[in-house]
Amino acid sequence: MKRLRRTQLLGLGVMALMLGMVAAPTAQAAPAGAAAPSAVECSGSWDGKTYWAKSPSGANGGGYARTYWNASTKRNCAKFWSSPYDGLASNIKLYLHDESGDYIADPPPEHPENYHYYAGPLYTWFDATGHCIHLSGSLVRGGVTYRLSTGDIRCG
């Protein structure tokens, strides 16, 4: 009888272990002191321009955005990084607008997140050849809200 109980306990233990592996979360918070998450990159070529977020006094800082053009897909892509890239920024939000005012956002409003390193990549949802886009966004660093607003860019 003892042998059966040990076998049963062993079987239950293996099942619990397997269930734990299946039900375990796929994403976990990085422990303190861990490296910054690797950023998902835009495909395409960077135009060499950096768009800085502005403090309430108008000074550059807190973070910056860059845009990329992919000639094969005819799409623009944008990302917004905290600067420095240290995880101390919060509530990083990026919006990519088309000429009519439609936009996409990261994080999307229906799934709000508190990003600390970057937002994006965001891709245009249309053939952007000959069309302008503009970016807006914000982040908080040291209690100061920095705002991003590019006006029309990537026209053509």
pTM given for the model? 0.75
Instruction: Please give the pLDDT value at position 5.
Output: 41
Instruction: Please give the pLDDT value at position 40.
Output: 79
Backbone angles phi, psi at 59, to 5 degrees: -80, 140
Domains of the chain: which residue ranges?
45-149
User: Token match 């799934």: residue?
Assistant: 111
* Class of the CATH domain delimited by 45-149: mainly beta
Q: Is residue 77 a contact partner of residue 62, using CB atoms and an 8 Å limit? A: no
Instruction: Please give the pLDDT value at position 138.
Output: 98
Instruction: Please give the pLDDT value at position 42.
Output: 94
Instruction: Please give the pLDDT value at position 53.
Output: 98
Question: Among 122, 85, 82, 89, which residue's Cα sits nearest to residue 106?
Answer: 122
Return the structure tokens found at 75.
Answer: 């799409």
Return the structure tokens found at 87.
Answer: 């995880």
**Which parts of the chain register pLDDT below 70?**
1-39
Other Cβ atoms within 10 Å of 60 Cβ, number: 14
Burial 76-106 (b: 16+ CB within 10 A, else e): bbbbbbbbeeeeebebbbbbbbbeeeebbbb
Task: Round to whole Å and give the CA distance between 105 and 103.
Answer: 7
pLDDT in tens, 59-90: 999 999 999 999 999 999 999 999 999 999 99
Instruction: Please give the pLDDT value at position 37.
Output: 55
Per the omega criterion (within 30 degrees of 0), is the bond before 121 cis?
Answer: yes
